[in-house]
Amino acid sequence: ILNHIFGKSNYLSSEIYIGLLTREPNEDGTLIFEPDCQSYERVLTNASSWDDAFEGSIENINNITFGMACENWGKITHFALFDAAIGGNVLAYGCLSPSKNINSGDIPRFAPGDLIVCLV
């Protein structure tokens, strides 16, 4: 299933957008709170951004880098995977530990292996 979701085999689009959240969404993927700032946008990934799924998990193998925050984005507590750059469907989400305040001038990034998605 993870290989299909992340575009490692044909099933869904191989494009997944990573978003940052300022609070936990509802379990059904509603009430998404992303930074409400002009400099914030989701980051596009594709199949080559992710390792092959193994034992129920998959992780990024490349940097996932957001644009520079030109204003304070607030405290980022969660991430979400979307099927669109704006709106769209939430494919998965998770908690970030630790949470991080993103201030003007910061460039948020997930280094390779920092973003791990597991089926539970």
Residue closest to 42 by CA, chosen among 7, 91, 79:
79
* Cα distances (angstroms) measured from residue 42 to each of 37, 48, 70, 83: 12, 17, 15, 11
Q: How far apart are CA 84 and CA 90, in angstroms?
A: 9
Q: Which helix H or strand E contains 9, and what residues bound it? A: none
Place of tokens 């914030």: 40
pLDDT tens for 55-87 read 989 999 999 999 999 999 999 999 999 999 999
Task: Give the length of the chain.
Answer: 120
119: pLDDT strictly greater than 90: no
pLDDT tens for 46-59 read 888 999 989 989 99
Q: Model-level pTM?
A: 0.86
